[in-house]
Amino acid sequence: MTDTRTRRRGTELEHAILDAAWAELSEVGYPSLTIEAVAKRAGTSKPVIYRRWPSRAALVIAAWARRQPIHEAAPDQGSLRADLLWLFTRIATRMDAMMSQTIAGVMAEAFKHPEVQDLLRDRLDSAPLARTLGTIVENAVARGELRPAALPRRVLRLPLDLLRSEAILCGTPLSEETLAALVDDVYIPLLKGLAADHGH
Amino acid sequence: MTDTRTRRRGTELEHAILDAAWAELSEVGYPSLTIEAVAKRAGTSKPVIYRRWPSRAALVIAAWARRQPIHEAAPDQGSLRADLLWLFTRIATRMDAMMSQTIAGVMAEAFKHPEVQDLLRDRLDSAPLARTLGTIVENAVARGELRPAALPRRVLRLPLDLLRSEAILCGTPLSEETLAALVDDVYIPLLKGLAADHGH
DNA sequence: GACGTAAGAAACGCAACGTATCTTAGGAGC
DNA sequence: GCTCCTAAGATACGTTGCGTTTCTTACGTC
């Protein structure tokens, strides 16, 4: 299969490996993902992978980063609730069963490999989300639905934390009722509380 | 070592195994915990463990449940903030590095063994916490710090989710500043927001 | 005192780990 | 266009832990 073929190098090879890792992830899931299988699927061998990534977790994070879609602007749906629901739904859509199980697995391995913890933090800290939330809140303020308020870092990170906890504990997919409850029972009250503190 | 010894049975043996599992957990951590080591430490053998628990995760959850301390009543510290800080600190104290890494590991395995997911959910859903929070909020209402408000289920679970996410992403131990930020930036605004919605 | 259940010990095959060794393809430089 | 050197790709290795099987024997029961 390889004798007459060309031998890939650099970025081309790297991308092939990451794509193979992603495919394996989708098919067998994180707990059953093996480096050997990724190597085989990518048409290469284990040492090639180990030369680039020190652990399965690091490899998977790299594959994940490659797939992370570009941030899209938040549409103005006419109300704070609708905007938030749109955002929560969009996050939930990308956090399917495979993704939850992968994140859980990577989180578990982060304790063994400190460098993985850093990668994971970068991956989850999500500046794009912060910007989207900022826009949504600004729009709500412009509409008169909300007083202006500063959004602390942990508030910006909260949607991801909420959805991730929910997904891991309750299993995915998350129902619309669940998303609505998170928006109505937690996030909107929080924003109102922050605004009251700040603006009044 | 065993020839002249007594051969344990039933509860006695079970407790010995769970204690050994807990000790291993404390010493080597979840990722490095092996059934073999637990068996050795408990002075028994692998099949004896496998006869009782189907997986490492189930064993660890059982050991954890045995250690879960009794719920203590919330003291009235004189202010909502102080009460919440007390509660968050108390949770954080019990969620040391070992515990975070264990929870993360068990969460990761929950996907492979659905029955583990149920055990985990039971373990984390924490009715005691709900009662403590109820008391704290009641006291704040009595003091006039807060309007009365209903606390939805997800709000009751939020402290655990917040602290767990923080512990897993940032590593333990959690600093006092972190705990204060979670209380001041997230939880108190949320309570105020809920109260405003409800009472006004 | 005999019986049956389950404890305990040992060994198994399996799978994946992470590494070391070796050959060879292919890009860089003169 | 030839040489050199880096890194790809293949293979095999020892190790570890899994979960299971088999067997002996202690102990509680009747």
B36-87 tens-digit pLDDT: 999 999 999 999 999 999 999 999 999 999 987 666 778 899 999 999 999 9
Report the mean per-residue pLDDT for chain B.
89
Token couple for B194: 């809920």
pLDDT score at A86: 95
CATH number for the domain spanning A82: value is 1.10.357
8 A C-beta contact, residue A60 and residue A21: yes
Same domain for B159 and B84: yes
Same domain, B36 and B79: no
**In-domain check, residue A4:** no
Indicate whether A62 and A81 sit together in one domain: no
Do residues A51 and A100 both lie within one domain? no
Report chain A residues whose CB lies below 8 A from the CB of B97: 111
Which amino acid would we find at residue B47? P
- Residues B81 and B48 grouped into a single domain: no
Sign of CA dihedral B171, B176, B177, B178: positive
Q: Which residues in chain B have their CB less than 8 angstroms from residue A110's CB? A: 104, 168
B56 CB and strand D closer than 7 A: yes
CATH code, B38: 1.10.10.60
Q: Output the DSSP codes for A14-27.
A: HHHHHHHHHHHHHH
Find the nucleotide nearest A55 (Cα to C1′). Answer: C18
Position A67 scores a pLDDT of 86
Q: pLDDT, tens digit, for every residue of A142-175?
A: 999 999 999 999 999 999 999 999 988 887 789 9
Q: List all residues of chain A from 71 to 100 with a beta carbon under 8 Å from chain B.
A: 97, 100
Domain count, chain B: 2
Residue A1 — pLDDT band, cuts 50, 70, 90? very low
Taking residues B160-186, report their average pLDDT.
91
User: Do residues A50 and A104 share a domain?
Assistant: no
Q: Are residues B85 and B133 in the same domain?
A: yes
**Cβ contact (<8 Å) for A104 and B101?**
no
Residue B53 within any structural domain of the chain? yes
Angstrom distance (rounded) from CA B189 to CA B200 = 16
Residue B107 has pLDDT above 80, yes or no: yes
- Residue B58: domain span: 10-66
> Does the structure show a pLDDT above 90 at A18?
yes
Find, among B11, B9, B63, the residue nearest to B33 by Cα.
B63
Amino acid letter, residue B46: K
Q: Is the preceding omega at residue A114 within 30 degrees of 0, hence cis?
A: no
Q: What are the tokens at A3?
A: 């004798």
Chain B residues 14-43, Cβ below 7 A from strand D: 32-36
DSSP letter at A69 equals: P
Q: What is the pLDDT of residue B197?
A: 65
* Mean pLDDT in residue range B145-168: 92
- Asked whether the predicted pLDDT for residue A19 surpasses 90, the reply is yes
Residue A35 located in a structural domain = yes
Note whether A126 contacts B: Cβ–Cβ < 8 A: no
